[in-house]
Amino acid sequence: MTDSQSVTVISRDGDTQSNIEWVRPQSLMEAIRDNDLPISAECGGFASCATCHVHLDAASYRAFAEPADDEIEMLEGEERYTPGTSRLACQLPFTVTDGVVAAQLASPPVDF
Burial group, residue 17, by CB count within 10 angstroms (0-12, 13-18, 19+): exposed
The secondary structure element, H or E, covering residue 101 is strand 101-105
d(CA 63, CA 55) in angstroms, rounded, equals 13
* Closer of 67 and 102 to ligand FES (Cβ): 67
Q: How far is the CB of 98 from ligand FES (least distance, A)?
A: 25
CA 16 vs. chain centroid, Å, equals 16
Encoded one letter per residue, x for contact with ligand FES by CB under 6 A and - for no contact, window 39-78 reads: --xxx-x-xxxxxx--------------------------
Residue 86 contacts residue 78 (beta carbons within 8 Å):
yes
Site for ligand FES in 76-105 (CB under 6 A): 88, 90
Chain length of the chain = 112
- Contact region for ligand FES (CB under 6 A) — 12-20, 36-44, 62-70, 79-87? 36-44
- In sequence order, what are the beta bridge partners of 6? 21
Give the residue nearest to ligand FES (CB): 90
Closer to ligand FES at the Cβ: 15 or 25?
25
Provide the binding-site residues for ligand FES, judged by CB under 6 A. Answer: 29, 41-43, 45, 47-52, 88, 90
